[in-house]
Amino acid sequence: MFKIGIIGGTGYTGAELLRILANHPQAEVTIISSRAECGKSVAEIYPNLRGSYNLSFSVPTVDELALCDLVFFATPHGVAMNQAPELLARGVKVIDLGADFRIKDTDEWAKWYGMQHSALAEVSEAVYGLPEINREKIRQARLVANPGCYPTAAQLGLIPLITNNIIDPSDLIIDAKSGVSGAGRGANVPMLLCESSENFKSYGVAGHRHLPEIVQGLEQHTSAKIGLTFVPHLVPMIRGMQATMYGTILDKTVDIQALFEDYYKDEFFVDVMPEGSLPETRSVKGANFCRISVFRPQDGNKVVVLSVIDNLAKGASTQAIQNMNIMLGLEEALGLTALGMMP
C-alpha cells in the first residue's frame, strides 16, 4: 500500500482526490493538509466521505510528508514551487495540480502568473502529465505537472490532427465552455448562484493563462508556428467542460474519423465516438474519460472537433491519479474505471 499526502485538501480538486482515493486498492491517504481547517476531520468538511477516512486536516512538517511515497499539491500557483523541491530531495514523488511546473519558459510563466519562479531546476525536470501523450516519460518521472482542464480537452482534440499535418497549425480556434467549479471553491461574487445561474458569458478573451500551456503542448507535435485564438466561457452548471475546436484542412483526402479512431485505439480513457455523434458533458461527469467527436461540415475545408471532459476529473484530479498510477508502477486505470453519472 502506497502512502499518499495531499497538500491543499479543502478545494474542489483536493475533495476529488479524496473521493477517488477512498476506493483505491493500492493507495492510502495518510496526510491531508489545510491551514484554515486544521484540526477538523475530513467528514466535517466533506460529509460525503463520512466513514471513509479517519483523518483530520493538519499542517504537516516536511519530515511527516517525507514518509509519503507521493504527494499531491492541490494548491494555487506559487505554493508547489516553494515546497516541492525539498520533498523531491527527500525521495518523495510529486504531482502538482497547480500551474507551477506546466510552462517550461519561466519568463512566460511569470508574465501570466504575476510572480517570479523560484524552482528553475524543477521546471526543467518536470514531465507534463498528459498520459496519452507522455506515458513513458511519466513512468520515469519524480515530478509531474498535471495539465490544466482546458489544455487537456483541447490537446486531446487537436494533437492527432497536428501530428499528422491534417490542419493548418497557424489558424486554430478553440471555443471552450466550463462549469463554475473551474473557478475554485473560494468565495467569489461572480460565482454565487444568483450571479452565475441562468447566465452565460465569456472571460479571458484578451488572454487566458491556459493559452501558453496549450500552445506549448501543440508545438511539441509540429515544426510550424502555432497560431491560436482561445476563448473560454462560463456556463451555469457545476462541473463539465466542452472544447469546440476549428481548423483549416490541408489534406482533404484523409478520413478524419478513421484517423482519430486509430490514434486513440489503445487509450482506455479517450472515447472517439461514432461518426455523427455529439458528446455530452453529463456522460463524463465524475469520470476520467474524454469523449471526442469529429466533423467536416458540408464536406468543406474546416474540421470541427468536439471534446468533453469533467473539468474536476480528467481535467484535474482523476487525471492526477492516472499519473500517480503510472509513476508508482500500478495498472494505469486502477481505481478510475467509474462511469459518468447520469442524470
Question: Residue 290's beta-bridge partner residues?
Answer: 270
Query: Does 149 participate in catalysis according to the annotation?
Result: yes
Residue type, 336: L
Round to whole Å and give the CA distance between 335 and 318: 9
Q: Which of 38, 149, 194, 290 is catalytic?
A: 149
User: What does the DSSP 8-state code read for residue 309?
Assistant: E
How many other CB atoms are there within 10 angstroms of residue 216's CB atom?
Answer: 18
Round to whole Å and give the CA distance between 37 and 52: 18
Round to whole Å and give the CA distance between 321 and 136: 16
How many other CB atoms are there within 10 angstroms of residue 268's CB atom?
Answer: 15
Round to whole Å and give the CA distance between 157 and 172: 12
What dihedral do alpha carbons 304, 306, 311, 315 form, nearest 10°? -80
Q: Are the C-beta atoms of residues 302 and 237 closer than 8 Å to each other?
A: no
Q: Residues with catalytic annotation?
A: 149
